[in-house]
Structure 1
Amino acid sequence: MNHHRRARRAITASAAAAAILGAAFAVAPAAMAGAAEDTSAPCLANPMAAATPIGSASGYTIFVTGDAILANSELEGSLAVGGTATFGDPRGLASNQYPLYHGGIGGNADYTPPTIDGEYNRLLINRFGVNPDATKVVQIKAPSGGAPVAGAKIVDRATPAGYTFGPQFGGAGTTYFPAAGTNMSAQIESEVQAWNGGAGAATFATAQASFSSYFPADEGSDLLAQTGIWRTPTIIPGGDTTVTLDPSGPNRVPLSAISGAPKFRLDGYSTTSPLIVKVAPSDVVNGVLTLPSEVNAGKNAPGNAALSYILWDLSDLTGDVTITSYNEPVRGSIYAPDAHVVFPTEAQGGREFEGQLIAGDLTVLSNGKELHTNLFKGELPCASDSTTDPGTGEPGTTGPTDPGTTEPGEPGTTDPGTTEPGEPGTTEPGEPGTTEPGEPGTTEPGTTEPGEPGTTEPGTTEPGEPGTTEEPVTDDTTTQPTAEQPAATSSDSLAITGGGLPWIAGGTAAALAAAGGILLLVSRRKRSA
Structure 2
Amino acid sequence: MKPLLPEGSTRPTPTRRRTGAVLASAGVMAALLAAPLAAGPWATGASAAGTGNFNPFEVNQGFTLYVSGDAVLGNGEMEGSIAVDGRISTANQNGYPVVHQVAGLADYTVPLIDGVPVRILAAEYTGAGSVDLTNRSAQPGSPEAGAGVKLVQTANLSGSARGGGNDGRDFLRVTNTDGGNLDLKPVPFQSGYATDLGLLATAEPSVGAYFPNRAAQLSRTSQCLASMYDLANGLAHTVPVKNDNSMVMPGPYAADKPNVLNYSDVAGKTIKGDNANGYRPTAEAPLVIKVPAGTTEVGRLNFEGWSSAGAGQALARYIFLDLSEVTGNVLVDGLEMGAVYAPTASVAFNSNVTHNGQWLTGSFTSAGAGELHHHTFLGELPCAASAPVVPTPEPSTTTPAEPTAEPSEPTVEPSEPTEPAAVVPSADPSGAPAAGGTNPGAPSASAADASSAPASAPGSVLAATGSAGALAIGAVAVLLLTAGLVLFFGGRKGRHA
TM-score by length of 2: 0.61
Stretches of structure 2 lacking an aligned partner (at least 5 in a row): 1-11, 389-409, 418-465
The structure 1 residue matched to 2:81, chosen from 58, 78, 82, is 78
Note the C-alpha offset of 1:302: 7.4
**Does 1:159 pair with 2:168?**
no
Whichever structure has more helix as a proportion of its residues is 2
Q: Deviations over 1:227-260 (max 9, x none)?
A: 6356421446798955554455562413333531
Contact 1:233 1:251 in 2 (8 A): yes
Note the C-alpha offset of 1:290: 2.6
State the secondary structure of the residue aligned to 1:32.
helix
Q: CA RMSD in A?
A: 4.8
Note the C-alpha offset of 1:69: 2.3
Note the C-alpha offset of 1:156: 1.0
Stretches of structure 1 lacking an aligned partner (at least 5 in a row): 1-8, 53-57, 387-475, 484-493
Contact 2:281 2:318 in 1 (8 A): no
The structure 2 residue matched to 1:366, chosen from 365, 368, 374, is 368
Q: Which amino acid aligns with 1:370?
A: E
Q: Which amino acid aligns with 1:228?
A: D
Note the C-alpha offset of 1:261: 0.9
Assess, with a 3 A threshold, how the Cα gap between structure 1 residues 357 and 383 changes in structure 2: closer, same or farther: farther
**Does 1:253 pair with 2:262?**
yes
Distance 1:323 1:140 in 2: 26
Partner of residue 481, structure 2: 508
Alignment coverage as a number of residue pairs: 386
Assess, with a 3 A threshold, how the Cα gap between structure 1 residues 66 and 96 changes in structure 2: closer, same or farther: same
Partner of residue 210, structure 1: 206
Contact 2:318 2:378 in 1 (8 A): yes
Note the C-alpha offset of 1:496: 8.6
Q: Deviations over 1:17-42 (max 9, x none)?
A: 55445444444444434445664514
Partner of residue 324, structure 1: 333
Partner of residue 104, structure 2: 107
Distance 2:287 2:134 in 1: 35
State the secondary structure of the residue aligned to 2:104.
coil
**Does 1:32 pair with 2:35?**
yes
State the secondary structure of the residue aligned to 1:372.
strand
Distance 1:194 1:249 in 2: 50
Note the C-alpha offset of 1:127: 1.0
State the secondary structure of the residue aligned to 1:256.
helix
Distance 1:331 1:66 in 2: 23
Assess, with a 3 A threshold, how the Cα gap between structure 1 residues 304 and 520 changes in structure 2: closer, same or farther: same
Q: Deviations over 1:199-251 (max 9, x none)?
A: 99544222221223333124466766776356421446798955554455562
Note the C-alpha offset of 1:82: 2.3
Partner of residue 446, structure 1: none
Q: Deviations over 1:7-62 (max 9, x none)?
A: xx977776665544544444444443444566451465444454x2xxxxx33212
Distance 1:168 1:129 in 2: 23
Partner of residue 334, structure 1: 340
Distance 1:203 1:352 in 2: 33
Distance 2:176 2:280 in 1: 55
Q: Deviations over 1:146-184 (max 9, x none)?
A: 964444211111124xx2477986447973513999xx9
Partner of residue 473, structure 1: none
Distance 2:316 2:269 in 1: 20
Partner of residue 233, structure 1: 239
Rg (Cα) greater in structure:
1
Q: Which amino acid aligns with 2:156?
A: T
List aligned pairs for 1:88-99, cutoff 5 A: 88-89=91-92, 95-96=94-95, 98-99=97-98
- After alignment, is 499-508 or 195-204 more displaced? 195-204
State the secondary structure of the residue aligned to 1:69.
strand
Partner of residue 376, structure 1: 377
Partner of residue 318, structure 2: 308
Note the C-alpha offset of 1:85: 1.5
Q: Which amino acid aligns with 1:353?
A: H
The structure 1 residue matched to 2:289, chosen from 276, 280, 284, is 276
Partner of residue 487, structure 1: none
Partner of residue 3, structure 1: none
Distance 1:61 1:497 in 2: 43
